[in-house]
């Protein structure tokens, strides 16, 4: 039975109102990125002033408070986390918790800076990275990312493998953009030894196009893949929202993250910390808690612990994502790059 006293005095696990233990913290270390992916950002973005962004010591302090309260997995995201100055030092510092409450310290990246950082990340305790990659066609890659070079990302993936990092590929399924090569992506991941997760586009932040034109339900993607590959159910899980199948022909797994066609909220164990220190208890809701104020108010962690505990009492049962004709506006105003991918 959950101890309500332990919940509020800075001790014990973080349990939300629906009995779900919060064991997974995603931390956006920056809202900046070296790409401008069309489904994620507007081409001209206003980024946060540095005074509003948590410094690395503040990020470490907040993450450590969560780890004390039972968080077992921390994922660093952005924007693009590897453009944050000092990021490897933060990873190195947080790695002190590995084996002491923290099971895994991971990173989601666009891969553009991996050639530079792969070895140092591995040396700092990272064992697994997720690389966002939506196409294997160089021209299409440039159109999607606006600025990116596919060759550089593929070299980064190779550098990560050479450093001993397990690489999982994340692909956003986009109607009319990459829907004709999703099977080829499965085959490529099989050859390269990567697991793959497909993600439905999420209605977050105003961008330069109507998302209803790009939304592709993953139920249809899975049905199409089943014409080419033998897919079997598996209970494999990484602690995130993806539901996985095994691919007999490649020996790898495919995950499906389906916030719109199949709500995954009933087992949600996650909260998200933005680069400004706002804690979002749900990706698809606007309710948040200001942990930056708590951490800057006092060098003692009592205020921080109390703010975290209070926030978890407001974690909702589910999100409000919907995409449909007549309702193309973003479900939440902030861009995915602000909350953390």
Q: How far is CA 32 from CA 45, 83, 120, 216, 273, in A?
A: 9, 7, 21, 27, 15
pLDDT at 333: 54
pLDDT tens for 37-78 read 887 777 777 888 888 999 999 999 999 999 999 999 999 999
Q: Is 314 annotated as a binding residue?
A: no
pLDDT at 332: 46
CATH number at residue 293: 3.20.20.70
Bridge partners of 271?
25
Q: Return the percentage of the chain with pLDDT > 70, whole number.
A: 85
Q: Is 75 annotated as a binding residue?
A: yes
Q: Is 168 annotated as a binding residue?
A: yes
CB atoms within 10 A of CB 70: 14
pLDDT at 201 over 90: no
Q: Is 282 annotated as a binding residue?
A: yes
Give me the domain span that covers residue 213. Answer: 4-339
Q: For the purposes of burial, counting CB atoms within 10 Å of the CB of 192, is it exposed (0-12), middle (13-18) or buried (19 or more)? A: middle
* Confidence tier at 10 by pLDDT (50, 70, 90): low
pLDDT tens for 98-140 read 999 999 999 999 999 999 999 999 999 999 999 999 999 999 9
- Distance of alpha carbon 167 from its chain centroid, rounded? 14
Q: Is 214 annotated as a binding residue?
A: no
- Distance of alpha carbon 317 from its chain centroid, rounded? 20
Give the predicted TM-score (pTM) of the model: 0.87
Domain count, the chain: 1
Distance from C-alpha of 121 to C-alpha of 300, rounded to nearest angstrom: 30
pLDDT tens for 284-336 read 778 899 999 999 999 999 999 999 999 999 998 875 544 443 444 444 454 44
Q: Is 300 annotated as a binding residue?
A: no
Q: How far is CA 13 from CA 1, 70, 95, 99, 322, in A?
A: 11, 5, 21, 17, 32
* Contact call for residues 286 and 333 (beta carbons, < 8 A): yes
Q: Is 271 annotated as a binding residue?
A: yes
Bridge partners of 304?
none
Q: Is 268 annotated as a binding residue?
A: yes
pLDDT tens for 145-191 read 998 999 999 999 999 999 999 999 999 999 999 999 999 999 999 99
pLDDT at 38: 81
Q: Is 211 annotated as a binding residue?
A: no
Q: How far is CA 331 from CA 24, 41, 92, 242, 280, in A?
A: 23, 15, 36, 21, 14
Q: Is 189 annotated as a binding residue?
A: no
Distance from C-alpha of 44 to C-alpha of 41, rounded to nearest angstrom: 8
Q: Select from 277, 275, 276, 284 the least CA-distant residue to 315.
A: 284
Q: Is 272 annotated as a binding residue?
A: yes
């Amino acid at each position: 039975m959950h101890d309500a006293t332990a919940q509020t005095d800075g001790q014990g696990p973080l349990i939300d109102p629906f009995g779900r233990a919060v064991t997974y913290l995603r931390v956006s270390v920056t809202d900046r990125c070296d790409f401008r992916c069309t489904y994620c950002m507007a081409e001209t973005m206003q980024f946060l002033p540095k005074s509003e962004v948590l410094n690395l010591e503040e990020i470490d302090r907040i993450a450590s408070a969560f780890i004390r309260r039972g968080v077992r997995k921390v994922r660093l995201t952005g924007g693009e986390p590897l453009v944050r100055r000092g990021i490897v030092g933060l990873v190195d510092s947080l790695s002190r918790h590995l084996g002491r409450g923290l099971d895994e310290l991971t990173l989601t990246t666009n891969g553009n800076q991996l050639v530079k950082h792969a070895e140092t990340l591995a040396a700092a305790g990272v064992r697994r990275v997720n690389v966002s990659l939506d196409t294997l066609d160089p021209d299409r890659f440039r159109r999607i990312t606006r600025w990116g070079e596919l060759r550089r990302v593929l070299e980064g993936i190779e550098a990560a493998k050479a450093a001993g990092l397990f690489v999982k590929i994340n692909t956003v399924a986009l109607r009319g953009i990459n829907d004709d090569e999703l099977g080829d992506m499965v085959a490529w991941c099989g050859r390269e030894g990567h697991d793959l997760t497909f993600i439905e586009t999420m209605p977050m932040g105003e961008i330069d196009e109507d998302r209803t034109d790009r939304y592709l339900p993953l139920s249809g993607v899975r049905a199409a893949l089943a014409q080419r590959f033998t897919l079997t159910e598996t209970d494999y899980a990484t602690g995130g929202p993806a539901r996985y199948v095994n691919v007999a022909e490649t020996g790898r797994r495919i995950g499906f993250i389906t916030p719109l066609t199949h709500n995954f909220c009933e087992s949600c164990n996650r909260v998200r910390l933005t680069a400004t220190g706002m804690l979002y208890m749900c990706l698809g809701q606007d309710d948040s808690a200001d942990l930056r104020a708590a951490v800057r108010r006092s060098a003692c962690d009592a205020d921080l612990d109390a703010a975290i505990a209070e926030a978890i009492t407001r974690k909702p049962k589910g999100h409000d994502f919907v995409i449909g004709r007549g309702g193309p506006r973003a479900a939440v105003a902030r861009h995915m790059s602000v909350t953390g991918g």
